[in-house]
Structure 1
């Protein structure tokens, strides 16, 4: 994700991809940040023991020096940027959609449901719902319709000659 491409040569076959991942060293763009390159190399380490040592000490890596790990653990950290909510398009107006939806009974007991009070899984983007406009019907010309139009044009010209 950091480079926008796969770190190994994949080719067109699954067998080629598997061999590359197992045997080859990862390839990185020249302008990639050296600290980021070191993290990716550590995470792609072939030896499970070496990879585990790297993951255990990943907080000490220079790439993560600006991260306050206690804020992350206590859910106080804010993301560095937030994407704007995107509009969700539907085929039907919301009153039609809501008439199709049956209420879902909670699968757990009512007293256990209280543990999840205030919790929501829906982002703000789901609240912005607009219906999809119906596309205008376009007449698609087929070979038959082109031939018919040409025949009628020729027939009109023949009639005018008389």
Structure 2
């Protein structure tokens, strides 16, 4: 959702859902920036910023009215980024209010390389031997029976600015 577009109704996974969605208010792209903040918090700490315990109503109440606890292990820059993404008021969230690419956390990221898909991951995990064969099994398909989307790719128009 971009520009002035909004939507209403409940969509999403409870622990990742923005307060506006849980309150059944109209919402816009700010709800997506909230979810991104939750994901960053979870990646950095290994847990959700708001307790997933209790009923769905209790979880919603915690998200709407509670504040996450930030461990001391987070860098000040990462904490600031997450705090800006988890602002209760959607119009105050980074991404809606300010360009996330300008946040100091991303100061070393080469956005033009991201756009061109030329940026290599700083971490490339090596799977344990035999793990791929155990986890992934590919069905035997005749390629002529599968539909292929040639040259399918998508880049958000706002990234082209």
Give the TM-score normalised by structure 2: 0.55
After superposition, the Cα gap between the structure-2 partners of 1:2 and 1:50, relative to the gap in structure 1 and judged at 3 Å, is: same
The answer to whether 1:61 aligns with 2:100 is no
**Runs of 4+ deviating beyond 3 Å:** 52-56
Identify the residue that residue 23 of structure 1 maps to in structure 2. Answer: 65
Q: Measure how far apart 1:33 and its partner are.
A: 0.8
- 1:88 matched to 2:132? The reply is yes
2:5 aligned with 1:5, yes or no? no
CA distance in 2, matches of 1:76, 1:15: 44
Cα distance in 2 for residues equivalent to 1:44 and 1:59: 17
Q: How many residues align?
A: 106
Q: Are 2:142 and 1:103 aligned?
A: yes
Give the TM-score of the pair, scaled to structure 1. 0.54
Partner of 2:114: 72
Residue 14 (structure 1) aligned with residue 53 (structure 2): no
Q: RMSD across aligned C-alpha pairs, in angstroms?
A: 3.0
Structure whose CA Rg is larger? 1
Query: CA 1:49/1:10 → structure 2, altered by over 3 Å: closer, same or farther?
Result: same
Shift of 1:12: 2.7
Match of 2:19 in 1: none
Q: Distance in 1 between the 2:117 and 2:146 partners?
A: 27
Q: CA separation of 1:81/1:4 partners in 2, compared to 1, >3 Å: closer, same or farther?
A: same
- Structure 2 residue runs without a partner (length 5+): 1-42, 153-161
Alpha-carbon offset, residue 30 of structure 1: 2.1
**TM-superposition CA deviations, 1:2-42 (whole Å, max 9, x none):** 11112123323222111111111121112211111111111
Higher helix share: 1
From the superposition, tell whether residues 102 and 46 of structure 1 become closer, same or farther in structure 2 (CA, over 3 Å). same
